[in-house]
C-alpha cells in the first residue's frame, strides 16, 4: 500500500494541493491510515493561517487585550503605568510567524512521512497533478486514490473603484505582517478582518478610521455583536463610519486619500481593504476535470467535489466555501481524510450525520471567535438564521455584566449573551457571547449545540461559582421564566 516516498516518487495514494492547516491535517489522516501522500505547496508550508491570518492577527491583538483586562480591575489598574510596547508586540508577532519561514512546518510534514512537493500544483485530468517547480520545471504526479484541493482563498479587491489598485492597499496579508504602525490607517470593511485589524492597529498606535458600507459591523452575527464591537472600537479611539461607500482612491507618495460617495475625503498613510475573498482555484486546472477555474468547489458532506465522477476529487477548507475558518477547515480535513482512507482501504464510508466521515458540524454548529474588545464568540445559528431556516425558536438574552463572575473579572463589565432554543426539540440552535474574555466560554456552547443536550439536562450542568460561566444559569432561568 505505502509507496516508497522519495522526491523521485511520482505516484502516491493521495495528493493534497495546499499545505495550510487543512492540507496538513488531511495529509496527517491519510498518512495515519498508511497511505502514501504528497503535499504540494507553492508558498509557505503552514498556509495563510500561520503567516498572514489567525496567528499573527491574534499575536497583534493579545497584548492589548491582556493590558485592557489588567486596567479593568481596581488594584491591578494602578500597576499599569506604562504603555503597550509596540515594538515588543511586533517582535512577538514575528516569533509566532517564525519570521515567515516554514522550516518547522516542513519538518512536521517530513515527520508524518508525507512528501512535501514545492511548486504550483494544478490538476491535469483524472487523478493527475502537474507541479510547476520553483526551478521552472514540471513534475507530473498521479494519485492512486484521491486528490484533495486545500488551497484556500485569497483577498480580492473590488472592481470599479478608481485608483484602488494603484494605491497599493493593504490586504489581510500586509495588515498582519506590517513592520510598523502607520500613523493613520483607513480600514474598509466591517467583517472579521476589518474589525480585528482596526482594533489591533489602533492599540499599536495608529489612528484608525473604519469605513463600513452597511449600517453595522459583523452582519452575519446577532446584531448586538456588531453594536458592542462598534462601541468598543470607538471607546478605543477608532472612528467608525457606517454607510460609507468608497468612490475613489488616490495615492500621492506616502499619503493615500479615499474619497467617499458623499464627497468626504479621508487621508492616511495606509489603506486596508478587507471586503472579500475569492477561492484559490484560478490556474488550478479545474477545466481538465470538467469544472471551472476560479470557482468555489462545491462538495458533499464527505468533502467530495460534486460533479466529478469516481469520487476521487475532494476539497476541504475555505476553498469549498462551507465555513471559512481555520478550525472548520481542519475539521473537514479530518473527516475527508478519514473518508478517503476508508475508501482507499476498501472499508465502508459512513454517510450518517455526526459520523466519522462527515463534516456535519459545518451545517449547524460552526464556532467563531472574534478577538476584538469586547470579544465575540458565537456558535450555530443566530435567532434570525434559525427562524429563516424554519425553526420554531425562542431567543433569550442576558447582560453578562450582571453575573457575579463577570463583575469580579472586570469593573463595569459590558457584555451580552443570547441563547437560541429550538422550541420543538428543546435543544440549543445557537449561542452568542459578547464581552471581554468570552472566547473560551464558547466551547461550552459548542458542546451543548453539537451534543444536542436538552435544556432539561443543561440545568444539571452547574456552572462553578463565581465564574463568568454562570451566564448559563441566567440564560436558563430567563428561558424558563419567559415561558
Q: Which of residues 5-34 bind its own copies (CB under 8 A)?
A: 21
Which residues, 33 to 52, sit near its own copies by CB under 8 A? 49
Minimum CB distance to its own copies, residue 307 (Å): 26
Query: Is residue 425 a contact residue for its own copies (CB under 8 A)?
Result: no
Q: What is the residue whose three cell numbers read 512521512?
A: 113
Question: Of 251, 295, 254, 246, which Cα lies nearest the Cα of 273?
Answer: 246
Residue 172 in the binding site for its own copies (CB under 8 A) = no
C-beta of 54 vs 266, nearer to its own copies: 54
- Cβ at position 358, least distance to its own copies in Å: 9
Name the minimum Å distance from CB 189 to its own copies.
21
Count of residues that interact with its own copies, criterion CB under 8 A: 87
CB of 187 to its own copies, least distance (A): 21
Cis peptide before 466 (omega within 30 of 0): yes
Going residue by residue from 281 to 320, which x/- string records binding to its own copies, judged by CB under 8 A?
Answer: ----------------------------------------
To its own copies, the closest distance from the beta carbon of 354 in angstroms equals 6
What is the rounded distance in angstroms from the CA atom of residue 459 to the CA atom of residue 456? 6
Closer to its own copies by CB, 245 or 440: give it. Answer: 440
Considering only residues 427 to 456 of the shown chain, the ones binding its own copies according to CB under 8 A are 437-444, 446-448, 450-451, 453, 456
Q: Rounded to an integer, what distance in angstroms lies between the CA atom of residue 75 and that of residue 88?
A: 25
Torsion angle, alpha carbons of 287, 290, 295, 298, to 10: -150
Q: Which helix (H) or strand (E) holds 336?
A: helix 326-344
Contacts (CB under 8 A) with its own copies, residues 67-126: 67, 69-70, 72-86, 88-89, 91-92, 96
* Cβ atoms 27, 150 nearer than 8 A: no
Contact between 13 and 144 (Cβ < 8 Å):
yes
**Cβ contacts of residue 82 below 8 Å, gap of 6+?**
none
The interface with its own copies within residues 350-409 (CB under 8 A) comprises 354-356, 360-361, 365-369, 377, 404-405, 407-409
Contacts of 203 by beta carbon, 8 Å cutoff, 6+ apart: 61, 63, 64, 84, 236
Does 462 participate in binding its own copies (rule CB under 8 A)?
Answer: yes
Amino acid at each position: 500500500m505505502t509507496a516508497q516516498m522519495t522526491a523521485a516518487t511520482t505516484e502516491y495514494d493521495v495528493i493534497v494541493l495546499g499545505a495550510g492547516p487543512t492540507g496538513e491535517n488531511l495529509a496527517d489522516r491519510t498518512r495515519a491510515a498508511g497511505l502514501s501522500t504528497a503535499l504540494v505547496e507553492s508558498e509557505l508550508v503552514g498556509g495563510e493561517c500561520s503567516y498572514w491570518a489567525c496567528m499573527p492577527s491574534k499575536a497583534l491583538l493579545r497584548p492589548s487585550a491582556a493590558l485592557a483586562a489588567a486596567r479593568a480591575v481596581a488594584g491591578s489598574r494602578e500597576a499599569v503605568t506604562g504603555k503597550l510596547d509596540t515594538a515588543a508586540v511586533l517582535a512577538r508577532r514575528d516569533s509566532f510567524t517564525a519570521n515567515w519561514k516554514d522550516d518547522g512546518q516542513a519538518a512536521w510534514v517530513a515527520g508524518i512521512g508525507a512528501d512535501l512537493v514545492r511548486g504550483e500544483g494544478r490538476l491535469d485530468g483524472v487523478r493527475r497533478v502537474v507541479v510547476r517547480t520553483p526551478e521552472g520545471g514540471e513534475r507530473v504526479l498521479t494519485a492512486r486514490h484521491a486528490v484533495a484541493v486545500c488551497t484556500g482563498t485569497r483577498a480580492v479587491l473590488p472592481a470599479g473603484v478608481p485608483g484602488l489598485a494603484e494605491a497599493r492597499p493593504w490586504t489581510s496579508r500586509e495588515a498582519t505582517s506590517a513592520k510598523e504602525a502607520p500613523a493613520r490607517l483607513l480600514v474598509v470593511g466591517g467583517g472579521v478582518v476589518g474589525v480585528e485589524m482596526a482594533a489591533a492597529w489602533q492599540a499599536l498606535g495608529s489612528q484608525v478610521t473604519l469605513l463600513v458600507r452597511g449600517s453595522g459591523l459583523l452582519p452575519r452575527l446577532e446584531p448586538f455583536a456588531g453594536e458592542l464591537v462598534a462601541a468598543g472600537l470607538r471607546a478605543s479611539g477608532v472612528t467608525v463610519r457606517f454607510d460609507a461607500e468608497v468612490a475613489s482612491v488616490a495615492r500621492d507618495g506616502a499619503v493615500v486619500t479615499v474619497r467617499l460617495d458623499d464627497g468626504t475625503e479621508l487621508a492616511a498613510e495606509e489603506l486596508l481593504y478587507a471586503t472579500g475573498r475569492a477561492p484559490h482555484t484560478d490556474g488550478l486546472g479545474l477545466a481538465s476535470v470538467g469544472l471551472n477555474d476560479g470557482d468555489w468547489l462545491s462538495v458533499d458532506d464527505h468533502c467530495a467535489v460534486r460533479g466529478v465522477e469516481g469520487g476521487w476529487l475532494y476539497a476541504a477548507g475555505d476553498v469549498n466555501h462551507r465555513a471559512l475558518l481555520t478550525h472548520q477547515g481542519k475539521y473537514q480535513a479530518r473527516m475527508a481524510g478519514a473518508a478517503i482512507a476508508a475508501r482507499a482501504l476498501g472499508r465502508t464510508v459512513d454517510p450518517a450525520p455526526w459520523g466519522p466521515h462527515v463534516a456535519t458540524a459545518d451545517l449547524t454548529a460552526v464556532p467563531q471567535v472574534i478577538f476584538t474588545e469586547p470579544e465575540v464568540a458565537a456558535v450555530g445559528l443566530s435567532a434570525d438564521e434559525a427562524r429563516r431556516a424554519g425553526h420554531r425558536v425562542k431567543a433569550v438574552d442576558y447582560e453578562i455584566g450582571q453575573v457575579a463572575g463577570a463583575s469580579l473579572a472586570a469593573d463595569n463589565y459590558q457584555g451580552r449573551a443570547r441563547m437560541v432554543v429550538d422550541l420543538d426539540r428543546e435543544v440549543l440552535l445557537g449561542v452568542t457571547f459578547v464581552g471581554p474574555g468570552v472566547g473560551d466560554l464558547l466551547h461550552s456552547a459548542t458542546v451543548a449545540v453539537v451534543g444536542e443536550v436538552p435544556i432539561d439536562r443543561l440545568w444539571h450542568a452547574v456552572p462553578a461559582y463565581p465564574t463568568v460561566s454562570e451566564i448559563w444559569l441566567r440564560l436558563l432561568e430567563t428561558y424558563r421564566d419567559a415561558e
